[in-house]
Amino acid sequence: MPNWGGGAKCGACGGTVFHAEEVQCNGHSFHKTCFICMGCRKGLDSTTVAAHDSEIYCKSCYGKKYGPKGYGYGQGAGALSSDPVDSDPAQSQEAKPRPSSGSGPTRFAQKFGSSERCPRCSQAVYAAEKVMGAGKPWHKTCFRCLLCGKSLESTTVTDKDGELYCKVCYAKNFGPKGRGLGNMGVVEEGE
């Protein structure tokens, strides 16, 4: 196909990508309509893309294909390994010691957030959806008052025993009680 009018080649379909329809990722150009996960075919954007060479994936498919394998990563029981194939079958039965220089599954987990779990839903919290509260990472959608369900922000959040509350619910349930503190009671005669 001739390349009339310039433009780069699309990393997915190979067609000419003109400037008005171009999305760039990892040094490659894509049509906006071709910027989809190579695994599940979901549309991608800059917060959901994970690139491997010239291939693009959503973070979920990328983790399944290139992430660490083993117990705790959705791949069943076994030793943790980020290597696709173990060359020594005797060593594959045991967990291999990893160098502490920041390589292997731990580094992958830190980079993509899969080692951090949301206290509310217990799912992995990725950097694009992470909100810190009560010293823990939360999904933006889980960052809500436990009692009334109101969405929280850093200025409206209070925490008790690792749970999040809006200021109103916290005051009602854990705030000071007594006369003159918002709890108007009936004053009995003789007081």
Residues 6+ apart with CB under 8 A from 34: 10, 11, 12, 13
Tell me the sheet residues that pair with 136.
Answer: 133
Radius of gyration for the alpha carbons in the chain, expressed in angstroms and rounded = 25
The pTM of the full predicted model, rounded to 2 decimals, is: 0.36
Beta-bridge partners for 139: 130
Say yes or no to pLDDT of 79 above 60: no
What is the structure's pLDDT at 101?
A: 45
What residue spans define the domains of the chain?
Answer: 1-68, 116-176
Fold of 116-176: Cysteine Rich Protein (2.10.110)
Model pLDDT for residues 105-156, shown as the tens digit of each residue = 444 444 444 568 899 998 888 888 888 888 888 888 999 999 999 989 878 8
Give the pLDDT band of residue 104 (cuts 50, 70, 90). Answer: very low
Confidence of residue 59 (pLDDT cuts 50, 70, 90): confident
In this chain, the answer to whether the domains covering 1-68 and 116-176 adopt an identical fold is yes
Q: What is the pLDDT, as a whole number, of residue 81?
A: 46
Superfamily of domain 1-68: Cysteine Rich Protein (2.10.110.10)
- Helices (H) then strands (E): counts for the chain: 4, 10
**CB contact at 8 A, 145 and 169:** yes
Kindly state the percentage of the chain with pLDDT values over 90: 8
